[in-house]
Amino acid sequence: MINNDRGQSLISKYVWVIETIYRRRKISFKELNELWLCDDISRGVDIPKRTFDNWRYVIWDMFGINIANEGRGEYRYYIENEEDISKNGLRSWLYNTFCVSNALANSQSIKDRIILEYVPSGQEYLQTIIEAMKENHVLNMTYHNYWKDEENNFDVQPYCVKLFRQRWYMVAKSTYYDNGPRIYSLDRIRELKTKDETFVMPKDWDAEEYFNGCFGIIADQSVEKQIVKLKATASQANYIRDLKIHESQKEIERNEEYSIFTFNIRPQFDFQQELLWNGEDMEVLEPYWLRKEIAGKIKRM
């Protein structure tokens, strides 16, 4: 049997340590080792203290999670920046992804009872794009346009990538269009090659700012951010409360029949689609133009 301690099994151990300390909030090394020995992942072997200290450094490098020690009393360990685990960033996403991967990898005996969603665009081109972004290399791309039902070949300068609704997207400036960067779905790319040519990344361009106020991947800068007020039934409000529609979401009124939420957002096409998805359980109160726009869509439907 191949020893995979330097691969997936080692990552599984890192995730186990993070999850255990996160759940217990504070824990001594003795308590941690006792829990470790009770878990199948240990294979009945203790964690050497030096090994654990090495894992702490690797966990910081890999996930940006700092496992600190009280330095007094029981010398318990805790996650110093545990609030970062819940933030919507790359390291948080990596940690959550590894947690899920670890759970799935240890569930082969019930694999026929675990149903997943297929992400169609990440495998083939994502790595090529990320590598090009690191060195600011130009990419040559053949891209299928759904609206015109045609394929075009042109060069692009990759600015950033974003995952939304099980699809990966690339923001890139192209030679095919003269204006600013556009958004391309990776599952519409037919061919992609890295060129020797490089480009200079604009110093004033920021990915977070580009999508500031956007719901999904449509980033029309001509649409200003504005306050949107929505009314949701009490039952639907539970879902909206637990899984926010947008980071700017605030609940300003709540009773037994309904809740009212506000958003500081660019109410573009993909946000409007989200409103329609909620059906009769949601009503647009403000602004009036958006209320009228949604009413028109419903009537045409």
pLDDT of 90: 58
Strands (E), 83-210: 137-145, 150-164, 167-174, 182-185, 189-198
Is the pTM higher than 0.85? The answer reads no
pLDDT digit string (tens) for 268-289?
A: 999 999 999 999 999 999 999 9
CATH fold of 8-111? Arc Repressor Mutant, subunit A (1.10.10)
Instruction: Describe the crossing of helices 269-277 and 288-300 by its angle, rounded to 10 degrees.
Output: 60
Classify domain 122-210 at the CATH class level: mainly beta
Domain boundaries, the chain: 8-111, 122-210, 226-300
pLDDT of 1: 35
- Copy the structure tokens of residue 179: 């204006």
How far from chain centre, in Å, is Cα 98? 13
pLDDT digit string (tens) for 59-112?
A: 888 878 889 998 887 889 998 887 766 665 556 666 677 677 666 666 677 777
Contact in structure between 158 and 128 (CB atoms under 8 Å): no
How far from chain centre, in Å, is Cα 277? 21
pLDDT of 246: 92
